Amino acid sequence: MASCVSRQSRTRSAPMRRTMLAAGLGLLALTALAAAQPRAPYAPGPQNIELPSDWQTRFIRYATVDKADRKIIRHMYVNPESFAALRSGQPAPYGTLLIMADTRARLDAQGNPLLDTSGRFIPEPGWIAIGAQQKEAGWGEGYGPELRNGEWEYAAFTGNGERRNIPLNNCFACHLQARAAQDFTFTYWDHAQARR
């Protein structure tokens, strides 16, 4: 009886194994085909940057900046792969995605930002705006010298993560004029120097 049951199990599982093997090979072939498909040619613009749905849990917050002139707090994040590859004095690696998420500062009755025990602004809950800066090989082609930031692109999103179709020339111009020697980044470059 036991040998009969085990023979039946082997008989049933052999076709199942063949089916699973065929499915696996089919999936492998589809993956190879997808990888072989040429990517759409690069065109300058914010459409190149996607805001990852998991950035708030997966990305690393490396800096927080109080902006007194705007009564906001900027929270700076980077994808963990780029954070691990960060080297002092070196450009950010391709694939670096920097996210700047703004919150309002909590204000007193006179409209002044309230401070915590460390003298920093206290954030109100929720994002009010999100900016992104991403670097990829070949990006930046198509911009004139008055705007091109190496191989970086910029994008703007609402606090809920919806894309904002706004002009980004000010981002390009500011980073180009102030930080071209620092790989067109502000807090990220400075953070790398502080990690020596």
pLDDT digits (tens, 9 = 90+) for 111-131: 999 999 999 999 999 999 999
Domains of the chain plus CATH, in order, are 47-195 (3.50.70.20)
Bridge partners, residue 74, by sequence:
65, 102
CB atoms within 10 A of CB 10: 9
| CA–CA gap between residue 10 and residue 7 (Å, rounded) | 5
**What's the whole-model pTM score?**
0.79
135-148 pLDDT, tens digit per residue, is 999 999 999 999 99
Q: State residue 138's pLDDT score.
A: 96
Instruction: Provide the 8-state DSSP code for 48.
Output: G
C-alpha dist (Å) from residue 188 to 15, 131, 181: 55, 14, 13
Phi, psi (5° rounding) for residue 193?
-65, -40
- β-pair partners for 154: 133
Q: How far apart are CA 5 and CA 10, in angstroms?
A: 9
